[in-house]
Amino acid sequence: PSVPKPSTAKLTPRETLDALASRFHTEFVPQCMAFTAHPPADAKTRDFEYKKLSETILAQIILKLDAVETDGDEGLRAKRKELVRETQAMLGTLDKIGKPGGGGYAG
């Protein structure tokens, strides 16, 4: 019996943006909210979790957004720009908690 191969069909720019937005909102936003609501008390653990989360968002969302070609479609450009802004805002929130001297954690 043959094993079905994963689809190698290339996503359209709109599908790529939708997939990235979905991943950001369902996977990363909840993790960020949990981290900011209850940051680890231990400085090393907090620093590790902060770096892991922020670097993963940069690699898995921001860099992939940068690679999406909108081919002059203003609607797609606006959608990409909004998701970049939203992602950067979340990274900024993480910075307040995770960065040394960020001022978000007094523990």
DSSP codes of every residue in the chain: -PPPPPP-PPPPHHHHHHHHHHHIIIIIHHHHHHHHHS--SSHHHHHHHHHHHHHHHIIIIIHHHHH---TT-HHHHHHHHHHHHHHHHHHHHHHHHHSTT-SS---
> Rounded to two decimals, what is the model's pTM?
0.83
Separation CA 98–CA 84 (nearest Å) = 20
Query: Each residue of 45-93: pLDDT tens digit?
Result: 999 999 999 999 999 999 999 999 999 999 999 999 999 999 999 999 9
